[in-house]
Amino acid sequence: MLNIALPKGRLGERVYEMFAKAGFECPSILENNRKLIFENVEKGVRYFWVKPSDVCIYVERGAADIGVAGKDIILEYEPDVYELLDLNVGICRMAVAGPVDFVDNGLKTLRVATKFTNIASHYYASIGRDIDIIKLNGSIEIAPILGLSDVIVDIVETGKTLRENNLDVKTTILPISARLISNTTSFQFKGEEIEKAVREIKGQIQ
């Protein structure tokens, strides 16, 4: 059995289609119910819907053999997994954003609100900028509006959330997309099936 952790939501559904086309179909997954585990014994595959930010944990600890996680999550948590393939879906970027009229004059410690404290710390360390990190769990855009922070480090996809809150991108830190990842032990012991998935999915990537 190949155990696959998929991120719950639109990205996961898109990625499931890629697996199905690759020969790992499991039609019961498309039934609209609240089940979280789906299995197709004939194809030797079992899928789990998990919270996107948890995929790395399932794969790192071997509860799933492979999974799909955003590069943002991989960089933030630095799990001990193999990154096998850039799926070229779930494309967005990690950026510094702030109020439209905000300019960092570098005179005082910059207050940065983010869910991605590791990525933000690395980025500001790389440019030698002193910061005070404020860890939030969501709706990060509110922080600079209420004066909780000067800027945010967050995912920008369409840019709509920023625009509607009078914020704009100051700097793009990195491009982000979904990656196929593997547990390191599974990669040895289930190598053949995993290689097959990689090969077949690779052929579908635009």
The footprint of ligand PRP (CB under 6 A) covers: 138-141, 154-161
- Nearer Cβ to ligand PRP (79/90): 90
Buried b (16+ CB within 10 A) or exposed e, 149-185: bbbbbbbbeeeebbeebebbebeebeebebbbbbbee
Residue closer to ligand PRP, measured from CB, 150 or 193 = 150
Q: Which is nearer to ligand PRP, 65 or 154 (CB)?
A: 154
> Closest separation between CB of residue 186 and ligand PRP, Å?
28
Give the count of beta carbons closer than 10 Å to the beta carbon of residue 41.
9
Of 21 and 163, which CB lies nearer to ligand PRP in the complex structure?
Answer: 163
116, burial (CB in 10 Å: exposed 0-12, middle 13-18, buried 19+): buried
**Cβ at position 86, least distance to ligand PRP in Å:** 20
Residue 20: CB atoms within 10 Å: 17
Cβ 92 to ligand PRP shortest distance, Å: 7
Q: Least distance from C-beta 157 to ligand PRP, angstroms?
A: 3
